[in-house]
Amino acid sequence: MDNFWVFGYGSLMWRPGFAHVETRKARVFGYRRALCVHSHVHRGTPDRPGLVLGLDRGGSCLGLAFSVPAELSDEVTAYLRERELVTHVYKERRVPVRLDDGTMVEALTYVVDRSHQQYAGSLDAEHAAQRISGAIGQSGPNEDYVLNTVEHLKALGIRDHWLEAVAAQIV
């Protein structure tokens, strides 16, 4: 049985939390990284929601693909469901991704559910920065989440110009 792949585009990239045997830069097409999810717990409250990342439709997204041994597939999938499907704002999908060597593989990932009440829609950098500024949840200030994400992406050699523009407006 072959290994299976998991695609990460946000915190999974630097804190996957599951066993894997290989990590590769990878691109998914038809989705983009976006601050499109209202956070009511970790980076905001119901009265003052923050914004966190989701994979939203359109464009493409450079992230990391993790190769997971087949014998761990059930365990890793259960872990990811517990981590990502808490409020069901994400939908579990298997999508084609292109690894950095051009190989195409199918990967498990989580995309935003546009019909969910936490979906924030498509925001420009200025409006995203306004929603982020001052939002605080159980995991801390929303500003820290965005700035930390941008720094981790840069450390991995991944540029996200829109996210960087948001970060520039909140500092």
Q: Phi, psi at residue 129, to the nearest 5°?
A: -60, -40
CA 158, CA 11: separation in Å to the nearest integer? 13
Using left for φ > 0, alpha for ψ between -120 and 50, and beta otherwise, residue 63 falls in beta
Closest listed residue to residue 39, CA positions, set 155, 129, 136, 150: 136
Q: Which residues contact 34 (CB under 8 A, 6 or more apart)?
A: 53, 54, 55, 56, 112, 122, 123, 162
Active site residue 84: yes
Q: Which 3 state secondary structure label does DSSP give 153?
A: helix
> Do the beta carbons of residue 131 and residue 49 sit within 8 Å?
yes
Q: Which of 84, 126, 143, 164 is catalytic?
A: 84
What is the set of active-site residues?
A: 84
